């Protein structure tokens, strides 16, 4: 049956609904099908180009090297670039092809556009895991995401920190001015948090009531302290009488359980409440 299909193989490859690419062992493009026109490229103009030039700068080619070195297929998500630079979420499948002596001849890759799926996934996450009042993630998403970020930090050998804090005298404020005023205050603090953390790097959560937690990725240097200080300074500029933030910063260590990681930050919040130093590392 395959022999009967061979004369039509080029047409099959050209008109498949996925981008089909053949690359050499240095990740240069040898062939790309017509589907790439949908993303603003002329197929022949891509022959000879480095494959990584079609992906966002965050991709460094490490997984391609793994495919070649281990002679093993890998599937993973990538950020594919349209010719105008717009990012398309794609699922990349990379399969090595080798000769009878075990030498890699080339790598066959397909790119399936999953942008619509990622948008739907984002909406589902937002509807399930977003706190409606502050626009931050809720506690249901915290431990799932914290576990993922710790695993990612281990792989990349990056420090992970959390900032935990609450509002001093918030209950008294609620009692004096009512829950509607309290909710407005929480909403304003949510905006401060979202505007103070690094987009696409850090994650803000409403832990419960007037308690908040931020996951700080790539927490080298004093970035966690800088972000905590920035949030507190912006909050104090709102000039709510007798209100302040007590903040604790905890850094992840390999011997820590996630629960103890959070408890460590919480203890520092308590220390900050009893101290003139309102941000405790």
In terms of DSSP H, where are the helices of 31-106? 43-46, 62-70
Distance in angstroms (rounded) separating the CA atoms of residues 159 and 5: 53
* 141-169: pLDDT as tens digits: 999 999 999 999 998 899 999 999 999 99
- Residues 71 and 49 sit within 8 Å (Cβ to Cβ): no
**End-to-end CA, the chain:** 68
pLDDT attached to residue 8: 62
**Residue 6 gets which letter from DSSP?**
G
pLDDT attached to residue 1: 62
Where do we find the tokens 């948008």?
119
Q: Where in the chain is the domain with CATH 3.30.450.20?
A: 2-117
pLDDT attached to residue 9: 67
pLDDT attached to residue 81: 95
Distance from CA of residue 188 to its chain's centroid? Answer: 24
pLDDT attached to residue 6: 64
**Residue 82 gets which letter from DSSP?**
P
pLDDT attached to residue 156: 86
* 94-141: pLDDT as tens digits: 999 999 998 999 999 999 999 999 889 888 887 889 998 999 999 989
Distance in angstroms (rounded) separating the CA atoms of residues 197 and 218: 12
- Tell me whether strands 203-208 and 211-216 are parallel, antiparallel or unpaired: antiparallel
- Residues 162 and 250 sit within 8 Å (Cβ to Cβ): yes
Does the domain at 130-280 match CATH 3.30.70.270? Answer given as yes
Residues forming a β-bridge with 112: 91
Catalytic residues: 210
Residues forming a β-bridge with 247: 165, 279
- Residues 79 and 88 sit within 8 Å (Cβ to Cβ): yes
Q: Where in the chain is the domain with CATH 3.30.70.270?
A: 130-280
Residue range 2-117, CATH number: 3.30.450.20
- Residues 173 and 185 sit within 8 Å (Cβ to Cβ): yes
Q: Chunk the chain into consecutive blocks of 10 residues (it has 281) and report each block's average pLDDT, rounded to whole numbers.
A: 66 82 95 95 96 94 91 93 95 93 92 92 84 92 93 91 96 93 96 94 94 96 96 95 95 92 95 92 92
């Amino acid at each position: 049956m395959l022999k009967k299909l061979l004369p039509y193989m080029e047409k099959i490859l050209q008109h498949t609904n996925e981008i089909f690419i053949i690359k050499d062992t240095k990740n240069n493009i040898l062939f790309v099908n017509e589907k790439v026109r949908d993303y603003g490229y002329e197929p022949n103009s891509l022959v000879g180009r480095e494959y990584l030039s079609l992906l966002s700068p965050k991709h460094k080619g490490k997984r391609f090297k793994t495919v070649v070195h281990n002679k093993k297929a890998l599937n993973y998500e990538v950020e594919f670039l349209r010719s105008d630079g717009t990012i398309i979420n794609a699922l990349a499948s990379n399969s090595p092809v080798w000769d009878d002596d075990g030498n890699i001849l080339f790598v066959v890759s397909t790119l399936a556009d999953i942008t619509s799926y990622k948008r739907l996934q984002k909406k589902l996450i937002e509807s399930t895991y977003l706190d409606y009042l502050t626009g931050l993630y809720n506690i249901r998403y915290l431990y799932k995401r914290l576990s993922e970020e710790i695993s990612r930090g281990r792989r990349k050998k990056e420090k992970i920190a959390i900032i935990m804090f609450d509002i001093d005298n918030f209950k008294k404020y609620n009692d004096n001015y009512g829950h509607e005023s309290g909710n407005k205050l929480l909403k304003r603090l949510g905006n401060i948090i979202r505007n103070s953390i690094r987009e696409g790097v850090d994650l803000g959560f409403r832990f419960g009531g007037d308690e908040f937690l931020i996951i700080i990725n790539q927490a080298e240097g004093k970035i966690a302290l800088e972000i905590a200080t920035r949030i507190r300074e912006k909050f104090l500029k709102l000039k709510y009488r007798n209100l302040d933030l007590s903040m604790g910063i905890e850094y992840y260590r390999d011997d820590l359980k996630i629960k103890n990681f959070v408890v460590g930050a919480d203890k520092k919040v308590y220390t900050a409440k009893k101290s003139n130093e309102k941000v405790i590392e």
